[in-house]
Structure 1
Amino acid sequence: MSQHLVLSFIGEDRPGIVERLSDTIARHHGNWLESRMAHLADKFAGILTVTVPLEHQESLVNALRNFEQLGLRVTVEMAKQNVTEGSTLSLSVVGNDRPGIVKEVSQVLHSLMVNVKESHHHL
C-alpha cells in the first residue's frame, strides 16, 4: 500500500534543485506523479504529488525536510486517496488587470460552490 503526498517548496532558484528533489524521491522509492513549477520574482516555487510505499514514507519525508539546509523550504501534506470528484471544466478569464480582480473571480466561483483545482495568472 502507498501514500499520496502533496509537496510544496520555495527557495532561491539555482541549477540542480529539481534533479536533487527527483533523486531524493527516487532513492526513497517514491514516484513523482505531477508537478507545477515556476520562477516567481526571484524565487523558485513548486507543488508536486508523489506516491510512496508506506514503509518508506517517514524516511522520504525526513529527507525532504533536509532540503532546508539548501535554502529550500519544503512542506509535506498527506493526501486523501479516495476523493470524490464532480464534473471538471476549464475556464478562461481575459481582461484588463486591476487590483482585486482575482478576489472578485474567486468570490463568484465560491458562490457557485466551484472548487478551483488549478489556476494560472498572467500579466
Structure 2
Amino acid sequence: MSDVRDGAFPERKPWRHGAACVIAHFRLTPKSSKDAVEGVTSTSDGPAFQARVRAVPEHGAANEALEELVARWLNLPKRSVSLASGGKSRLKALRIAGEPEALDRLLQMKINEFQR
C-alpha cells in the first residue's frame, strides 16, 4: 500500500456520488494514539482516505469513532455520516449525506490540504 500524501494523487477519487450523498472510502487503523484523517492511500479496492482512531474495534466502537471523526473533519453534523459497508473490515465505506456536488468540492478541498 503506497501513501499518496506527497502529491502523487491517484487518478480515481476515494469517493463516488450516490443518491443525495457521496460514498467515501476509508482505510481505518483502530487503537491508534490519535484520531485523525491523514491523507489518501492506495488499497486493493482503489484509493481511500487513511484514518486513525483511538477506539478499539470491539462492539462497533471504532466504526462509531470513525463516523464522528469524519463528521468533525468535514464540519458536518454527526447524523450526516454513517457506515455504508465494511463493518468488520479495515476498508470502510461511509455514506455522507448532502448535495453530491457540494460534498465533492469539500472532499477535493480536503485532499488539496494534504498537499501542503
TM (norm. structure 1) is 0.33
Higher helix share: 1
